Amino acid sequence: MLINQTMVDKAEALIPELMTSVVEPKSVVEIAADAEAFQGWRVEKAEDQAWKERVLGKGDNFILDFGDHLVGYVSLKVKSIGSPPDAPLKLKLTIGEMPCEIAEPFETYDGWLSSSWLQEETIFIDVLPAEIKLPRRYTFRYIKVEVLDTSKKYNVSFEQIACTAVTSGDVARVAPLPESVSGEWSEMDSIAVKTLQDCMQTVFEDGPKRDRRLWIGDLRLQAQANYLTFNNQELVKRCLYLFAGMRLPDGAVGACVFEKPHAHADDTRLYDYALFFVACLYDYYEASGDKETLEELWPIAMEQLEIGVERLDERGIVRDDETWWSFIDWHPELNKQAPSQGVLIYCLKRGLELARTLGLADKQQYIKEQIARTAEAAVTQLWDEDAGFFVSGSDRQISWASQIWLVLADVLPAEDNAALLERLFEEQPVIGMTTPYMYHHLIEALFTVGSREKATRQMQAYWGEMIKDGADTFWELYNPEDKKQSPYGSNLINSYCHAWSCTPTYFIRKYLI
Amino acid sequence: MLINQTMVDKAEALIPELMTSVVEPKSVVEIAADAEAFQGWRVEKAEDQAWKERVLGKGDNFILDFGDHLVGYVSLKVKSIGSPPDAPLKLKLTIGEMPCEIAEPFETYDGWLSSSWLQEETIFIDVLPAEIKLPRRYTFRYIKVEVLDTSKKYNVSFEQIACTAVTSGDVARVAPLPESVSGEWSEMDSIAVKTLQDCMQTVFEDGPKRDRRLWIGDLRLQAQANYLTFNNQELVKRCLYLFAGMRLPDGAVGACVFEKPHAHADDTRLYDYALFFVACLYDYYEASGDKETLEELWPIAMEQLEIGVERLDERGIVRDDETWWSFIDWHPELNKQAPSQGVLIYCLKRGLELARTLGLADKQQYIKEQIARTAEAAVTQLWDEDAGFFVSGSDRQISWASQIWLVLADVLPAEDNAALLERLFEEQPVIGMTTPYMYHHLIEALFTVGSREKATRQMQAYWGEMIKDGADTFWELYNPEDKKQSPYGSNLINSYCHAWSCTPTYFIRKYLI
């Protein structure tokens, strides 16, 4: 790793104080199998709401609904009823963002992400009454409390179960939408804002349940939404310095960063993510006008462009390969070449603006040449005139991602960009979109070409459908056509509050008001 | 409850500082099914002893043998190997005194004591490397460490697993046995001393794994062994004040006391246990000569005798009933009447000695009368001349316990006591003995009547057999004829270091050297 300790120290000095609020459960619920309900589970208010008065013995349980999505620390007060407790109390807590996490036994999980993400605790309490502050942070709306064992001589009763919620996103800073905004958009905006808020901790996390980590792909979208809502610029600055301060051996910015036990970069390298450092810095400067930071981080941004250009073949096209070299989207069959070409051009263009701001003539010249070379190569090498689409890879794959990114790269005349997106909807290539992250770029492309109505209809069809399916915060993965689908092999391990899904507030506040 | 706060405060002021020592694992072992081995499990040293260097992924595990029985706090240091950990580490620890606890899945437990006594922890570690100090106290020799999950990107390795052992029994105060004592008795003595030591915490606990609590039946035997070994008189004094300071509403001393969250008495009432307060005080004064404590606690001791006498019927015999009114032994069919009569007389006689010491003529007179009345009643009402045994209850049950306790009560002429015990061995009544606690009283009775050889043979056949079966400390329950038997429905929940089983050191030091 290339460590610039001064930059890391600068990042660490920017660790924010988190705001806290204590949240109590709102109701006792039951979760029933229902083929008509989202993912097959229906949540109903239980008849008996008096959970604090309930006397519980071995095998008894109840499910608390906190009424909204929360990120924080759970505490509980429990006392014994009956004779003095003559054996430890054995409790199990199952903690979930969604009903499926409470209703489907974790033992059934067989996906490819670690089962250690499933939020559960088995606790032995030797002394009663007890006030327990669980040390881990959880992300949830529901908690199932199960009394696994007491003894024949005593039962238990809970006096309090609460969550101390944490965030670095101050809602007081979020401007209310104008009254003219309809309820539909207002609701979508507030869910998006909550999604962003719950991801805003001591960094912009991708998902507070999982992976609880700073990814640059998520950061870019979070920061864009943040500038129009919480506008916590310091937090973006901290994240930029974390990426800049700890790079991969050749100078590329890593894909993600961990904060604990001390800040350290992951060894994951993604072509598009390294380039997004430039776009993030561009957006940050646009929002903040913080030239000092721009000047300090510029050399690293410039290096990312050079590293990106190094991957070009003799034709001026980003070299493809069989590894997981570029992210773009989770689609398992997606070829990454053409969309990565789009990302490179997109970031070169933002880099050019920054070089202009800094008055760096030679850099401007270099970047301009690279833009010309890569944009021309995209049109001459990747554009299939017969198909009317950009193609990607040796199999000339036609995907949504390729069209979207090459529209965002703006390599065609304006009217051709709009027509290309029209054609995309008409012909519906089979290699579609998997994540809200990819949907974001489709919407952004539509707004960019002026297809405002199509853009809003897509938002309604995607994020609007999540709301109908009960989203308190927007999800990492969602397929309105197959609501149980998960690329991780199980809906139990999906992240139901995910950074890259927070952008409806950005679209609403940037384009719709 | 009758609370005498001054006495409780006196008890609390006597809470000892515990001595600590850090113990590291001695070896890595494997536990294999073996029909020939005790309880069906054979422990073998593993081929690969290098547990600290081992790289463990999902599903890997190893078993550490700490080489001896321990009571204390476990800490572990674990680090990641490979990429930065991108998911929590999920660990399971199974902590056992005996191989069966490691080898038999706890899910199979179906006994009548709470499953919450089974020592296991499932731990999620969010940040690596980590140094974890588990907050609960465990009692064990073996720890099975299982890596339930990591992620595809990293494995783990343990740098340290250790136990900070705790006790209030200072081995430096235990006099070594004379060199003339054979290896057999010396080994039995040291295991008994270790048993007592591990039960000596901030009170004399019955069993440090379970119930971790002060029972007066255990206290009496522990204190007797303690006077000849650790001689921690302050700890006995603390326990006497706990019992004296918190009594049942009618003034009877309760059967057991809990220390946390503050000292409080259980609601369990046992006829014999309340009376043993007198015997405990007698033994304490004999050992310590502490007249101040004797004077302060005497009224409570006297009250126990009066409460005991209240239960006599018009014949002068302790009234029987169908409830769990007197302990004596765990035997499910044992009738408690005759042995309780023995306990009453035994304690009256010790009370008489205390009244003499204090020069209380009227109390002496009262107690003498009660001794005469109850002893005569025992002989006239409970002795069955034809059978040559004492009988108990309306069904005139002949049990070992009845004979033993009426020998200890010394109601027959000396030579008849000896003959009665001889007859017991010859005729072997079917209502036998279940616990080491009852065996203790048999051995004590044998030594009392001068049957030294029979006493030592019984010790060899019982505690000696436990040693052959691998005891590091002596057990709560043991049946040499049926080694898997447990009155609690499972060998998993037996207490393998139990106070009432520590008395071989008392016999060896009192009668054999």
Q: How far is B387 from chain A (nearest CA, A)?
A: 40
Please say whether the dihedral angle defined by the alpha carbons of residues A282, A285, A288 and A290, taken in this order, is positive or negative.
positive
B157 close to B78: Cβ distance less than 8 angstroms: yes
**CA B383 to CA B406: how far, in whole Å?**
10
**CA B471 to CA B450: how far, in whole Å?**
29
Q: Which two tokens stand for residue B14?
A: 């006597």
- Best CA proximity match to A80, nearest among A26, A29, A142, A147: A147
Q: A474-500 as b/e, with b when 16 or more CB fall inside 10 Å?
A: bbbbbbeeeeeebbbebbbbbbbbbbb
The helix/strand/coil state of A409 is: coil
- Helices marked H in A325-360: 337-357
CA distances from B341 to A340, B328, B336 (A): 92, 11, 9
Q: Which residue of B has its CA nearest to A493?
A: B87
Ramachandran class of A231: left when φ > 0, alpha when ψ lies in -120 to 50, beta otherwise? left
How would you class A335 by CB atoms within 10 Å of its CB: exposed for 0-12, middle for 13-18, buried for 19 or more? buried
The residues on A that touch B, with CB distances below 8 Å, are: 83-84, 86-90, 112-117, 121-122, 124, 126-129, 136-137, 148-152, 210-213, 258, 260-261, 264-268
B174 close to B81: Cβ distance less than 8 angstroms: no
- Helices marked H in B72-157: 99-103
- Best CA proximity match to A218, nearest among A466, A456, A496, A440: A440
Q: Which residue of B has its CA nearest to A209?
A: B87
Mutate to test the interface with A, among B114, B124, B137 (most CBs of A within 10 A): B114
**CA B198 to CA A64: how far, in whole Å?**
42
Mutate to test the interface with B, among A90, A92, A114 (most CBs of B within 10 A): A114
Cβ B151–A86 below 8 Å, yes or no?
Answer: no
**pLDDT value, residue A71:** 98
Cβ A122–B122 below 8 Å, yes or no?
Answer: yes
Nearest to A83 among B121, B136, B267 (CB): B267
**CA B156 to CA B161: how far, in whole Å?**
14
Pairing of strands B41-45, B19-23: unpaired
Helix (H) or strand (E) holding A90: strand A89-96
Domains in chain A (CATH in brackets) are: 20-167 (2.60.120.260), 180-512 (1.50.10.10)
CB pairs under 8 A between A and B: 96
Task: Estimate the share of chain A in helix, then strand, then coil, as percent rounded to the nearest 5.
Answer: 45, 20, 35
- Helices marked H in A125-230: 183-199, 216-227
- Best CA proximity match to B166, nearest among B66, B71, B25, B76: B71
Beta bridge partners of B461: none
Nearest to B126 among A122, A136, A151 (CB): A136
Q: What angle do CA A339, A344, A346 make, to 5 degrees?
A: 90
Beta strand spans in A429-475 (E): none
Question: In chain A, what residues touch B90 (CB-CB under 8 Å)?
Answer: 114-116
**pLDDT value, residue A111:** 87
> CB A287: neighbour CB atoms within 10 A?
16
- Best CA proximity match to B488, nearest among B215, B113, B38: B113
Please name the residues in contact with B204: beta carbons below 8 A apart, sequence gap of 6 or more. Answer: B214, B218, B219, B222, B223, B226, B235, B236, B239, B499
**pLDDT value, residue A486:** 72
Question: In chain A, what residues touch B211 (CB-CB under 8 Å)?
Answer: 86-87
Cβ A124–B113 below 8 Å, yes or no?
Answer: no
Please enumerate, as own/partner, the contacts of A313-321 that have beta carbons within 8 Å and a separation of 24 or more: A315/A377, A315/A381, A316/A373, A316/A374, A316/A376, A316/A377, A316/A381, A317/A341, A317/A374, A317/A377, A317/A378, A317/A381, A317/A382, A318/A271, A318/A344, A320/A392, A320/A393, A320/A394
Cis amide prior to A110 (ω within 30 degrees): no
Cβ A213–B86 below 8 Å, yes or no?
Answer: yes
- Best CA proximity match to A350, nearest among A224, A200, A505: A224
**pLDDT tens for each residue of chain A, 513 residues long:** 999 999 999 999 999 999 999 999 999 999 999 999 999 999 999 999 999 989 999 999 999 999 999 999 999 999 999 999 999 999 999 999 999 999 999 999 988 899 999 999 999 999 999 999 999 999 999 999 999 999 999 999 999 999 999 999 999 999 999 999 999 999 999 999 999 999 999 999 999 999 999 999 999 999 999 999 999 999 999 999 999 999 999 999 999 999 999 999 999 999 999 999 999 999 999 999 999 999 999 999 999 999 999 999 999 999 999 999 999 999 999 999 999 999 999 999 999 999 999 999 999 999 999 999 999 999 999 999 999 999 999 999 999 999 999 999 999 999 999 999 999 999 999 999 999 999 999 999 999 999 999 999 999 999 999 999 999 999 999 999 888 777 688 889 899 999 999 999 999 999 999
Q: How far is B77 from chain A (nearest CA, A)?
A: 14
**CA B177 to CA B229: how far, in whole Å?**
10
Cβ A261–B129 below 8 Å, yes or no?
Answer: yes
Using 50 as the pLDDT threshold, list the residues of chain B that sit under it: none
Cβ A149–B90 below 8 Å, yes or no?
Answer: no
Question: In chain B, what residues touch A268 (CB-CB under 8 Å)?
Answer: 83
**CA A298 to CA A354: how far, in whole Å?**
8
Q: Which two tokens stand for residue B131?
A: 């140094």
| pTM above threshold 0.90 | yes
> CB A419: neighbour CB atoms within 10 A?
14
Q: Which residue of A has its CA nearest to B209?
A: A87
Cβ B260–A150 below 8 Å, yes or no?
Answer: no
Helices A436-448 + A216-227 axis angle, to 10: 50
**CA B159 to CA A147: how far, in whole Å?**
35
Helices B291-310 + B337-357 axis angle, to 10: 140
Please say whether the dihedral angle defined by the alpha carbons of residues A499, A504, A507 and A509, taken in this order, is positive or negative.
negative
**CA A336 to CA B85: how far, in whole Å?**
27
**CA A370 to CA A351: how far, in whole Å?**
11
Q: What would the pLDDT profile of B178-215 be if each residue is shown by its tens digit?
A: 999 999 999 999 999 999 999 999 999 999 999 999 99
Q: How far is A126 from chain B (nearest CA, A)?
A: 8
Mutate to test the interface with B, among A113, A115, A116 (most CBs of B within 10 A): A116
Task: Please report where in the chains the tokens 């004399």 appear, as a residue.
Answer: B204
Beta bridge partners of A164: A22, A73
Q: How many angstroms from the chain centroid is the CA of residue B274? A: 17
Nearest to A90 among B116, B148, B265 (CB): B116
**CA A396 to CA A417: how far, in whole Å?**
20
Q: Is the ipTM of this complex over 0.90?
A: yes
Cβ A126–B112 below 8 Å, yes or no?
Answer: no
Question: In chain B, what residues touch A151 (CB-CB under 8 Å)?
Answer: 113-114, 116
> CB A184: neighbour CB atoms within 10 A?
13
Q: Which two tokens stand for residue B168?
A: 């209030």
**CA B242 to CA B203: how far, in whole Å?**
9
**CA A215 to CA A223: how far, in whole Å?**
12
Beta bridge partners of B124: B90
Task: Please report where in the chains the tokens 């991780």 appear, as a residue.
Answer: A488
Q: How far is A58 from chain B (nearest CA, A)?
A: 9
**CA B508 to CA B188: how far, in whole Å?**
9
